[in-house]
Amino acid sequence: MKLPSAVAASLACLIIAPVSAQTTPSAAPATVPVPATKRVTCLAATASLKGQDKRDQMQLCMAQARLDCLKQAIDQKVVGEPRKGFIKTCVGTDGTEQQ
C-alpha cells in the first residue's frame, strides 16, 4: 500500500512545526529547532503499520527519499565525496542502517 504524496506531505508538515510565535524566558537558553530528516518523516508515515507492511513501506519511503536527495544534489551540482555526505545528511542516515 503506497501512501499518497498528499498524506506524506501532511505528515511532514506535522513533524516540522513552524516556530513562528515562539518566545523564550530570559533565564532559559533558546533552543534551535532541528528540521526533520526524510528518515524521520518515513518513520512517522509507517508508524501505524506493523510487520512486513511496515518494513515494505519504510523501504519504499527511504528509497524515494534517497532519490529526492540525489535529485537535489544534482540540481546543486554537488559531485564526488561531498555528494555522498550531502545525501546521507539529506536523508538523515549515517549510512549504517539496514533496511
pLDDT tens string 15-66:
444 444 444 455 555 565 556 789 999 999 999 999 999 999 999 999 999 9
Q: In the structure grid, which three cell numbers stand for residue 45, read together? A: 508515515
d(CA 68, CA 64): 6
State pLDDT tens for residues 67-82: 999 999 999 999 999 9
- Crossing angle of helices 38-45 and 5-15, in 10° steps, is 110
